Amino acid sequence: MNRRYRLTSAADFQRVWRTGKSYAHPLVICAVRANQRSHSRFGVTTKRKLGNAVERNRARRRLRAALHHLQPDIADGWDILVMARPACLHAEWTDILDGLSVLLKRAGLLEKEHERARGST
């Protein structure tokens, strides 16, 4: 994902977690906050209790791929932070995509119904 569309500093991550509205799903937790920009920015994080470094990195890669897949349909002007839950490690690709879509719909950020290819990454 282009640097322009990423949350890059720890202060940005903390601001979204503290002041944003959060939504939970069995696979992921999502926090959103308006950002006064012409585009949305995304951040992905994991906690150490999720597993070892290999598992945490795999979870982050899968969530970034899902966000990249959904990005064209996400409304502009938001900071979106996604945190993997332990069930995300063993979930199917389509389940992760569906879970993230559900959270973004609940937050009112998906502009249109997303037609997704049921392939794996």
pLDDT band at 20, cuts 50/70/90? Answer: confident
Residue of 60, 70, 58 lying closest to 94 (CA atoms): 70
35-53 confidence digits (pLDDT tens) = 888 888 899 989 898 889 9
pLDDT band at 1, cuts 50/70/90? Answer: low
**What's the CA gap between 63 and 93, in Å, rounded?**
9
What is the separation of C-alpha 83 from the centre of its chain, rounded to a whole number of angstroms? Answer: 7
86-120 confidence digits (pLDDT tens) = 999 999 999 999 999 999 999 888 876 544 444 44
**Phi and psi dihedrals of 45, rounded to 5?**
-140, 160
